[in-house]
A and B are shown apart, each in its own frame.
Chain A
Amino acid sequence: MRLTLRVVMALGLAFIYVPLLLVLVNSVNGDRTFAWPPRDITTRWWAAAWANDGARQALITSVQAALGATAIALVLGSLVAFAVHRFAFFGRDTLSLLIVLPIALPGIVTGIALDSAWRSVMGELGIGKGLFSVVVGHATFCVVTIYNNVLARLRRTGTSLEEASADLGAKPWQTFRYVTFPLLRSALLAGGLLSFALSFDEIIVTTFTAGPGVTTLPIWIFTNLFRPNQAPVVNVVAAVLIVLSVVPVWLAQRLAGPAAGAGRTGH
């Protein structure tokens, strides 16, 4: 039983990591069509990717969109978490279901809904689709990550510390500044990290909300995926993203110990 489980675990980890390792190895595979096993090793593709303006521009766009969406999600998610934790009101259960909806529904549904709404409402106001519409779309499904993290933290810490602060004469903003916010900081960070990653990686909602000329990194990869002569450069970009994916885990671990490195769905 134990041995079987150990073997399954090892096979499972191999299943998870072999494809990613393959991408890393192929990024230095000298053969243009990734002949396997690789015969010669080259850094040519890394140089070509570095010089690729499209990829670099797409990276900048993705970072901007993810930062914008995360900033909005931090505000909205925290507001709802406070409302749900501190008040009992009509429709509270419905609201918490509604927050899950943008990630529970298929991305293509959220995508076309936002697209047609944007065209008929914002289009009438003369605001076309651009980077801003991407930020709005991403923020909509990022709210849940912040909400879950903040609500979990609020439930765990309770209100007694804030009451103590008020009893000791602190004004509401002082209590927020010196008691509530410090208690929430790591939850906000974990949620924010998650939200950034979700947005950075998103392609479906982005396809429908991006204005002409707005290319995020996932969209850039997808459009170049089917062009054989771009394959080595795409592979290097993929390899870079795999290496970079270690960063948030490392960051979360440093901030709150190993267990916190876990929470992608926000525990």
Chain B
Amino acid sequence: MSPRVRLAALLAAPVVWLVVAYLGALATLFVSAFWTVNGFTGATVKRFSLGNFETILREDVYRTVTLRSVGVAAAVTVLCAVLALPMAYFMAKVASARARPWLVIAVLTPLWASYLVKAYAWRVLLANGGPLDTLLGGPGRGPGYGLPAVVLVLAYLWLPYMILPVYAGLERLPDSVLEASADLGARGWRTFRAITVPLIVPSIVAGAVFTFSLSLGDYITVQIVGGKTQLIGNLVYANVGAANNLPFAAALATIPVLIMVIYLVAVRRSGALEEL
């Protein structure tokens, strides 16, 4: 067999699946964002129109929800990075060689526990008069359901996705680099800030792909602990389901896609995607 034939044989099925089916589906979705729905009959009008995007740009509610979603995703990412950095640093550079694999397991085991189970656990924890309220001194004293709860629970859910790449990055970082910094007179904190953090930026960016994207599209956790809070995902979901306006849902869905594509293309050069 010639190499060309072998390559074709290897790629035929995956390309049909991922390029034709999946990319095709995404493309169709994007095209349908320019269609509209007849208000009386509910039938889809397949004629090019910018109406959906005009509505999104004109009405305050969509701008507010988009900004809120990006804000939540950014807050979750920052919270995860802030928590993951010291934990991963401890695991990779401070803990004894014997404790290290066990710490990795301890951090990663919850990843295998169900997403819903974890969100549910927080619903119980945050309930009015629940354990967190009791701990803080009575019903209504804890954060309760709402926007802060959404950020907290999403950060909880995606934290291991940040710890893992950062830990891997730190493990690859030779100790000699840190020792050189110390020999040149830098204190622990200075070395951490000036040497360690810049060198593991690609790992943090790789972790942020997960934390940011997973938060941006979430609408389940919001329903479980968010009270009346709405994110882009909730609006898309409402337009697919209750409102039965797929074109408008598609137009709304292009917002997170656009944000993610910009993000992915921007970070591809940094080599962060290799660390996923």
Q: List A residues at the B interface (Cβ < 8 Å).
A: 1-2, 4-6, 8-9, 12-13, 15-17, 19-20, 22-23, 26, 34, 36-37, 75-76, 79-80, 82-83, 86-87, 89, 95-110, 112-117, 120, 139-140, 143-144, 148, 197, 200-201, 203-204, 208, 217-218, 221-222, 225, 234-235, 238, 241-242, 245-249, 253, 257-259, 261-262, 264-267
Chain B, residues 126-140, CB within 8 Å of chain A (1/0): the string is 010011001000000
Q: Can you name the residue of chain B whose Cβ is closest to the Cβ of A109? A: B253
Chain B, residues 1-21, CB within 8 Å of chain A (1/0): the string is 001001100110111011101
CA distance A218 to B251 in the complex (A): 28
CA distance A197 to B23 in the complex (A): 24
Are B106 and A23 in contact, with the CB atoms below 8 A?
Answer: no
Q: Which of B124, B160, B161 has the most CB of A within 10 A?
A: B124
Contacts of A79 in B (CB 8 A): 10-11, 13-14
Assuming the contacts A5-B90, A104-B209, A265-B161, asked whether A258 and B105 have C-beta atoms less than 8 A apart, the reply is: yes
CA distance A26 to B268 in the complex (A): 45
Contacting B118 at CB < 8 Å: which of A19, A95, A112?
A19
Contacts of B256 in A (CB 8 A): 105-106, 109
A-B pairs, top 8 by smallest CB distance, nearest first, are: A106-B217, A258-B101, A117-B25, A19-B121, A245-B112, A245-B113, A113-B25, A83-B10
Assuming the contacts A13-B106, A22-B124, A221-B120, asked whether A36 and B134 have C-beta atoms less than 8 A apart, the reply is: yes
Are B23 and A98 in contact, with the CB atoms below 8 A?
Answer: yes
Assuming the contacts A102-B22, A109-B26, asked whether A264 and B117 have C-beta atoms less than 8 A apart, the reply is: no
Q: B197 contacts the other chain (Cβ, under 8 Å)?
A: no
Are B117 and A238 in contact, with the CB atoms below 8 A?
Answer: yes
Contacts of A99 in B (CB 8 A): 18
Contacts of B32 in A (CB 8 A): 116
Total A-B pairs in contact (CB under 8 Å)?
Answer: 258
Q: B156 contacts the other chain (Cβ, under 8 Å)?
A: yes
Contacting A6 at CB < 8 Å: which of B90, B113, B123, B134?
B90
Q: Can you name the residue of chain B whose Cβ is closest to the Cβ of A15? A: B156
Q: Can you name the residue of chain B whose Cβ is closest to the Cβ of A234? A: B120
Are B264 and A104 in contact, with the CB atoms below 8 A?
Answer: yes
Q: Can you name the residue of chain A whose Cβ is closest to the Cβ of B82? A: A8
Q: B250 contacts the other chain (Cβ, under 8 Å)?
A: yes
Q: B65 contacts the other chain (Cβ, under 8 Å)?
A: no
CA distance A2 to B213 in the complex (A): 33
Are A221 and B116 in contact, with the CB atoms below 8 A?
Answer: yes
A-B contacts, 22 of them at CB < 8 A, read A6-B90, A15-B156, A15-B159, A20-B121, A22-B131, A23-B124, A76-B14, A83-B7, A95-B15, A99-B18, A104-B213, A105-B26, A105-B217, A105-B257, A106-B213, A113-B28, A113-B29, A221-B120, A225-B120, A225-B224, A262-B101, A262-B108
